[in-house]
């Protein structure tokens, strides 16, 4: 007689254990907590994402805190990964109650995740997996909100400790101020106010970016080098969104590799620049979506219009960011007489390019076409009105 998972002895524990074992294997393939949850949610829905988060929390119990990279810990905190259930033997039953569903759904979800984890492709290793990290001063968090600076990564990225002056409370206060300005710029209904808030946030980010380069030039201290961060690029209209991410990254001296089938872009750059890219890309994408929603007319609801709108928006934003970056660089150089900033910036560019080549040796370009002139013009107009709140300059 063939038994169902519910009837099989030990199945209540075996299925969650299988998912947890798959998570352990995923770490060695370069996947990180946020990657796994996003992939599970994209493939099988939110319930699967929640169960994947639980499996990650269960798996992380095997590691001492000192052996977990702080970027990893930051992602776990952002996901809210915690072992909320009373006992591993009753996890499926407790998950069923917590999610308001039935046992069959819980079992199906666990089976989906087990199969998904067994077919994961290998990703680039962006930081040491849990158990391999070593404690370092000033390690990076997973996102700008964590506001800690990176100690490096794995693979082509060296991992040397930063001096005490980097990555401290001052960095957190700076990013908190920028995020506050950005939130106000996104919420105001007055373009002039949004522009003023944008200009102030951009100024803060520019100053922070140049200060890093000047510190290296004046003290001879070698920065930790480029690191990587994966940012989601969700459907629909992934290509224009990837174009926008590329424009923001280029203006902030970062580089992007788009993994279309997995729904993310890997951004390589220096830690402070990655913070700027993530903040600004998220903000500009929200503004573009809002502007698109408020477009009038039947034509604005067609896919051709929306695709053209977002592509035009990305191109124009890239032009604006490049102009602002050049102006900020000249101003910073004028305010720091006796310090040759350009060689420092050029060296950083080379380091990022070398990291991109080492990590993605077979990277190819992507072309996209647009067909709706009205959408293109509307997107360009929206980009001209967008705020550049979270941008950090220098190009």
- Total count of domains within the chain: 2
Domain boundary among 58, 87, 118: 118
Residue pLDDT tens, the chain, 395 long: 334 444 454 667 899 999 999 999 999 999 999 999 999 999 999 999 999 999 999 999 999 999 999 999 999 999 999 999 999 999 999 999 999 999 999 999 999 999 999 999 999 999 999 999 875 433 333 444 443 333 333 333 333 323 333 455 567 777 788 788 878 877 777 656 765 676 566 667 666 777 777 776 676 655 568 999 999 999 899 999 999 999 989 988 899 999 999 999 999 998 888 988 898 898 888 878 877 877 766 666 788 888 888 888 888 888 887 777 777 777 777 776 666 777 878 888 999 999 999 999 987 766 656 655 655 556 566 666 665 554 443 33
The answer as to whether 141 is a domain residue is no
Domain that holds residue 306: 170-385
Q: 340 and 213, same structural domain?
A: yes
Query: Residue 70 is encoded by which pair of tokens?
Result: 């702080």
Helices (H), 220-366: 238-251, 271-293, 303-334, 341-359
**220 Cβ partners below 8 Å, 6+ apart?**
none
Q: CB neighbours (10 Å) of residue 92?
A: 22
Residues 112 and 225 in one domain: no
| Pairwise CA distance, residues 5 & 201, whole Å | 55
Whether 45 maps to a domain, the answer reads yes
pTM of the model: 0.79
Q: Decide if 97 is inside a domain.
A: yes
Last residue of a domain, one of 118, 141, 158: 118
Element (H, E) at 265: strand 264-269
Residue 99 and residue 201 share a domain: no
Residue 156: inside a domain: no
Residue with tokens 């928006």: 313
Residues 84 and 177 in one domain: no
State whether 251 and 350 are in the same domain. yes
Burial code of 254-264, b = ≥16 C-beta within 10 A, e = fewer?
Answer: bbbbbbeebbb
3-state secondary structure of 255: strand
Boundary (domain end) residue, out of 102, 118, 134 = 118
Domain-located, residue 279: yes
Please give the Cα distance from 22 to 9 (Å, whole number).
Answer: 21
Tell me: the pLDDT tens digits for 247-305? 989 988 899 999 999 999 999 998 888 988 898 898 888 878 877 877 766 666 788 88
Query: Do the domain assignments include residue 79?
Result: yes
**Same-domain check for residues 208 and 356:** yes
Cα(118)–Cα(121) distance, rounded to whole angstroms?
9
Do both 275 and 214 map to the same domain? yes
Distance separating alpha carbons of residues 308 and 379, to the nearest angstrom: 7
pLDDT reported for residue 383: 62
Sheet of strand 227-232, all strands in order from the earlier edge strand to the far edge = 227-232, 264-269, 255-259
With beta carbons less than 8 A apart as the criterion, state whether 12 and 89 touch. yes
93/176 same-domain check: no
Question: Is residue 125 a part of any domain in this protein?
Answer: no
Q: Do 79 and 33 touch, CB atoms closer than 8 A?
A: yes
> Same structural domain for residues 238 and 356?
yes
Do β-strands 255-259 and 227-232 pair in parallel, antiparallel, or remain unpaired? unpaired
In this structure, the answer to whether residues 174 and 96 fall within a common structural domain is no
Q: Are residues 16 and 107 in the same domain?
A: yes
Nearest to 257 by CA among 74, 30, 73, 53: 30
Do 102 and 186 fall within a single domain? no
Residue 314 placed within a domain: yes
Q: Could you count the other beta carbons within 10 Å of the beta carbon of residue 232? A: 17
């Amino acid at each position: 007689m063939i038994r169902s998972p519910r009837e099989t002895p030990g199945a209540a524990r075996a299925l969650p254990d299988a998912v947890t074992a798959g998570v352990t294997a995923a770490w060695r393939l370069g996947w990180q907590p946020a990657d796994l949850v996003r992939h599970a949610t994209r493939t099988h829905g939110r319930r699967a994402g929640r169960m994947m988060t639980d499996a990650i929390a269960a798996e992380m119990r095997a590691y001492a805190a000192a052996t977990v990279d702080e970027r990893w810990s930051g992602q776990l905190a952002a996901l809210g990964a915690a072992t909320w259930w009373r006992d591993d033997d009753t996890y499926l039953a407790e998950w069923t109650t917590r999610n308001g569903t039935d046992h069959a759904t819980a079992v199906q979800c666990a089976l989906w995740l087990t199969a998904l984890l067994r077919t994961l492709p290998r990703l680039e290793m962006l930081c040491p997996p849990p158990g391999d990290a070593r404690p370092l001063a000033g390690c990076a968090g997973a996102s700008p909100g964590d506001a800690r600076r990176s100690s490096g990564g794995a693979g082509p990225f060296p991992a040397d400790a930063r001096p005490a002056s980097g990555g401290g409370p001052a960095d957190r206060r700076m990013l908190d101020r920028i995020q506050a300005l950005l939130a106000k710029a996104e919420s105001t209904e007055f373009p002039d106010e949004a522009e003023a808030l944008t200009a102030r946030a951009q100024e803060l980010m520019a100053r922070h970016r140049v200060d890093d380069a000047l510190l290296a030039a004046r003290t001879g201290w070698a920065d930790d080098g480029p690191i990587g961060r994966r940012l989601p690029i969700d459907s629909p209209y992934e290509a224009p969104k990837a174009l926008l991410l590329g424009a923001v990254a280029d203006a902030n001296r970062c580089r992007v590799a788009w993994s279309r089938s997995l729904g993310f872009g890997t951004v390589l750059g220096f830690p402070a620049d990655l913070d700027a890219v993530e903040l600004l890309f998220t903000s500009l994408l929200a503004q573009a979506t809002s502007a698109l929603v408020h477009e009038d007319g039947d034509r604005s609801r067609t896919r051709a219009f929306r695709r053209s709108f977002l592509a035009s928006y990305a191109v124009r934003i890239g032009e604006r960011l490049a102009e602002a970056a050049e102006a900020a660089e000249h101003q910073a150089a004028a305010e720091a007489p006796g310090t040759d900033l350009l060689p420092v910036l050029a060296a950083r560019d080379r380091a990022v390019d070398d990291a991109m080549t080492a990590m993605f040796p077979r990277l190819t370009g992507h072309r996209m076409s647009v067909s709706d002139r009205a959408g293109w013009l509307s997107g360009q107009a929206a980009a001209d009105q967008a705020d550049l709140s979270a941008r950090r300059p220098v190009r």
